[in-house]
Amino acid sequence: MRPTPWEEAEKYRLLGDEKYESVYGDNFGAFIIHRIIGNLRMLVSAGEKGKYAWEHVSVSLADRCPTWAEMDRAKKLFWLPEETVIQYHVPEREHINMHPYTLHLWRPIGFEIPLPPPIMV
């Protein structure tokens, strides 16, 4: 992830919300980009523990899934241009759908994501 504070993203940070409280410079929090065509909501976390540590951004809108351009905007807000992030399609038995119009970006901490040959991307 980009080093914090996330200069461009900070202007979108949701402040004063008990559920998603964070402050300037935190490497987590809720962010909302207010737009005429719908508010782009993002929840960010980094360093979750478990077998691996992960950086994560969920992106949602109230009435539709985010587009490629909207997901790319989130990627550019929170990660450096040379970093690779992924969107998983897990087995159906592992689906947990908390919101029907949310997509997620993930990046493991501590190792590089293998990439397919450039001609196939």
| Residue 50, pLDDT score | 64
The residue type at 96: I
Closest to 61 (Cα-Cα) out of 103, 116, 4: 103
Q: Where are the alpha helices (DSSP H) in 1-121?
A: 68-78
* Extended beta strands in the chain, E state: 29-33, 40-48, 53-60, 102-109
How far apart, in whole angstroms, are the C-alpha atoms of residue 73 and residue 49? 26
Interval 80-116: pLDDT, tens: 999 999 999 889 899 888 889 999 999 999 888 999 9
Interval 21-41: pLDDT, tens: 888 988 899 999 998 888 999
* pTM higher than the cut 0.85: yes
